[in-house]
Structure 1
Amino acid sequence: MQGAPRTVNNSRPRLPPSYGQGYHTDEVVPPLRIGTFVASRAGFFFGWWVVFASAAIVFLTGGTFFYGFSALFNPIVREFGWSRAAVSFAFSLRSEVGGIAAPIVGFLVDRVGPRRLMVFGVATVALGFVLLSQVQALWAFYGSVVVIAIGMSAAAGPVGIVAVAHWFRRRRGRALAFLAMGAGSSGIMVVVLAGLISAFDWRNALVIIAAVQLAVCVPLALSIHNRPEDIGLHPDGEAEVGPSPGDTAVAPGLAEPEGLTVRQALRSSAFWRLALAVSLGNLGAMAIIVHQIPFFTGSVGLSEGAAAASVTGMTLVSVGGRFGFGYVSDFMDKRFVMAGAYALLALAVLLFAAIHQPWQIFLVLPLFGLGWGGIIPVRPALQAELFGLRAFGAIQGLVFTIATLGGVVGPVFAGWMYDQTESYRLSFVVLAAATFLAVPLLVTLRRPSLSAAA
């Protein structure tokens, strides 16, 4: 006779007393227990602290350089006289190094967990910022960017995504959307960085940012627990009541296939379609992110301060895209949701070529922000749905390695086109067409069978 199915108790479980509940308000809480202390005192699921801490780390490390590079672009070109293609290559180099490091980081995060990698990553990014502040030659410029790229691979989005994916199951799309919203908000740092550059010059600004990264992000990284099981919790904060003797059934919706191995994923067409789609999307997206400020100042007539503010505006709009698309992906087919985001992104890149007046920026930037923002939380949610969590980090790293090719080619191509024609417009048209090719790849993507691999 089949036993009764397990029931799910929707009451919010408390953290074990040994994880933060024994502290008085006037005691100093060790970094390892900051998150559990706050979660237990506030009465919320610790997984949301993982989302917050990961988002804050991305905000101050990866996001600062990812979006802030555009603010550094003009000061570096003015000081050294390097070509735009040469300076753009630094951002592409960051993408390429990140792509090479991604499988290694993915392998490590599946085995040692996010916390140690994040601490290493934060320290390495800060070191890279200090080295960048001291460069006097192009080779040193590239070398410091390589250090930053290695740190970003361990501290920024990919590792945080793995952490959040393990803490949530039913609400994974929404949790990843909130993580992506934190990363999107890092566009605010473009204005901060531009202000620091104006007040202290770009070299001192980078040292200040590095100090803030170490002071804030290291304690946050130490506060993260890798999996809910580490502290006696379950994904989503749901508590399972133990089964009665002989019970073998599983609560509906709680069992998740173990997933594919890396080798099995590589043998599926879904992996290659997903990776190629992300790479094509990166062609247009990375070109705009790197060259947005130079384009607005040189071709549209904005001041550098106004151009920096436009980057912040775009990233803030992307927060809405990250939440909206991530939320919808919990209820709709993630393939179609992600394809819709890429279609919106391709349209925005095409319309960038038509911007001649400042007022037109207000029409195009929101489209770009929504499309770009929408892709970010849906991609890992779709990956988890396609391949499961058995080798999530390693598979993600391989996707990033292939996707990096677009991030390398797009910015360099746009910079080279400007050096040849003194205009970005033709490059934007070409890159928009390439970006749109991601749409049919995703719409026709077929899911591999997880049950056979579980």
Structure 2
Amino acid sequence: MMSLASGTIWYGTGLWVKTLESQFGWSRTELTGAFSLAQLEGSLLGPIIGMLIDRLGANRMTLLGMLVIGIGFIIFSQTQNLPVFYISFAMIMLGSAAGIWLPMMSAINNWFTTNKVKAMAVAGEGQFIGGLLLAPVLAWALTPGHFDWRHTALGIGIIFLMVALPVYICIQNRPDSFIHGPNPAYLQSRKVKSSARPYSEPTSDGIASDGNFTVKQAVRTRAFWLITAGHALSSMLIGILIVHFVPMLTDQGLTLQSSALLWSVVMAMAAVFLLIGGYIGDRIPKNLGLFLFCTCQSVGFILGAFSQNMSIAIMFVVLFGIGFGGRVAITTAIRGDYFGQRAFATITGLSMVPLYGVMVMAPLIAAWMFDTRGSYTLAILILGSISALSGLFFLFATKPEHSIVHNKGSN
């Protein structure tokens, strides 16, 4: 599911941008506007989506999200003007936000109390596999003389509609909802935890007593805001590259398929280091791991300003892929580790509001600079330098302290 979404939506955006630019002659700013408006939509609806996941379950939200994606692609295949493109793309991105990444991470957070980062890393491999394998296939399909882009979009929409129900059936929100009946180990762990207060109550300093923070308790911690800022600035870079990586390389004379293959190199490095990051994140403080990977990602991105030299371009692709892949699972798992399971999706959705806001502006700024200066160089240098602050935000995001309060009858 993640592979399908990443290859056709997240990491296929640049391919669609280049194809529509050739078809309709729209500017980079006009095309990037659809992506930015979709991020604004995510910013406004992120907390609501998180709350619905916590209340309705990951499986129901996944079903709804995939149906919306499918309908969005079908409308997209009929695009004749910018308004239809904007509406269809907004539907696709809304379905992706509500039904793919956050529901999956929420379910994993509910299932795993140990080795959580490794579990999220393994699940997250799907997004990089999609970028690695499906993006070149999409580029081939969109190349003139192969499949028409409209037929490609229509086919993708039909696939999403067809797989939505089977995926819904396969997803179980928690171990005690497993299809074969309640999980004995899970129920036993809940009995053990019942010696503590069943519901989190704030201590004198406002922190949850059992490690499961409410939303109100989480937003009162310094860690919540530092993680929020770090995640926003680190994700800003991938938001830029999702839209502009392929156009940037094709502007330098590479073919659409060659650009997609280079993007696959980024995805391959990210896929490898997603697993390495998952291993590291369970063995060193997560904030330290995020500092190291975010710094690597920012350095790689800045090198992209000098990618006319092939050796520098290779360093750009490798370093960015290492940093991006390494940080992904830890960025998600740190919230579960710091704030617990009970309101994980709601807390994460609220925390991602500034992220979407940054991803509204950054690609638009890069597009505007290209349209006015004819080059991405200045945009890369400025935005890459700002993003370097993300590592410092994570480094200072230490885990909030909490105390376990036992019932009077416990030993």
> TM-score, normalized by length of structure 1?
0.81
Alignment of 1:286-435 (within 5 A): 286-299=239-252, 301-435=253-387
Q: In the alignment, residue 175 of structure 1 is paired with which amino acid?
A: A
Q: Which stretch shifts more, 61-70 or 122-131?
A: 61-70
What is the RMSD of the two structures over their aligned residues, measured on CA atoms? 2.4
1:146 partner SS: helix
CA shift in 2, pair 1:450/1:125, >3 Å: farther
CA offsets 1:99-124 (integer angstroms, 9 cap, x no match): 22221111011111111110111110
Distance in 1, Cα, partners of 2:261 & 2:191: 56
- Which residue of 258, 268, 276 maps to 2:229? 276
Distance in 2, Cα, partners of 1:189 & 1:83: 26
Distance in 1, Cα, partners of 2:300 & 2:150: 33
Q: In the alignment, residue 213 of structure 1 is paired with which amino acid?
A: F
Distance in 1, Cα, partners of 2:350 & 2:72: 24
CA shift in 2, pair 1:208/1:433, >3 Å: same
Q: Which stretch shifts more, 224-233 or 202-211?
A: 224-233
Distance in 1, Cα, partners of 2:110 & 2:280: 20
Distance in 1, Cα, partners of 2:64 & 2:128: 23
1:362 partner SS: helix
CA shift in 2, pair 1:243/1:260, >3 Å: closer
Gapped regions of structure 1 (runs ≥ 5):
1-56, 250-255
Q: CA deviation at 1:449?
A: 2.7
Distance in 2, Cα, partners of 1:351 & 1:97: 31
Q: CA deviation at 1:221?
A: 2.3
Distance in 2, Cα, partners of 1:298 & 1:180: 31
Distance in 1, Cα, partners of 2:270 & 2:289: 15
CA offsets 1:39-93 (integer angstroms, 9 cap, x no match): xxxxxxxxxxxxxxxxxx1221255211001111111111221110111121122
Gapped regions of structure 2 (runs ≥ 5):
197-208, 407-411
Distance in 2, Cα, partners of 1:260 & 1:426: 42
Q: Percent identity?
A: 29
1:15 maps to none
2:217 maps to 264
Matched, 1:195 2:140: yes
Distance in 1, Cα, partners of 2:190 & 2:231: 42
2:107 maps to 163
Number of aligned residue pairs: give it: 389
Q: CA deviation at 1:283?
A: 2.4
Q: Is the 8 A contact 1:258 1:390 kept in 2?
A: no
Distance in 2, Cα, partners of 1:91 & 1:243: 47
Q: Which stretch shifts more, 441-450 or 146-155?
A: 441-450
CA shift in 2, pair 1:112/1:298, >3 Å: same
- Which residue of 18, 22, 30 maps to 1:86? 30
Give structure 1 regions of 4+ aligned residues with deviation exceeding 6 angstroms: 241-244
Q: In the alignment, residue 196 of structure 1 is paired with which amino acid?
A: A
Distance in 2, Cα, partners of 1:349 & 1:373: 13
Q: CA deviation at 1:218?
A: 3.0
1:207 maps to 154
- Which residue of 108, 123, 143 maps to 2:52? 108
1:346 partner SS: helix
- Which residue of 68, 72, 76 maps to 1:124? 68
Q: CA deviation at 1:285?
A: 2.3
Q: Is the 8 A contact 1:349 1:431 kept in 2?
A: no
Q: Is the 8 A contact 2:5 2:127 kept in 1?
A: no
> TM-score, normalized by length of structure 2?
0.89
Q: CA deviation at 1:451?
A: 3.0
CA shift in 2, pair 1:384/1:411, >3 Å: same
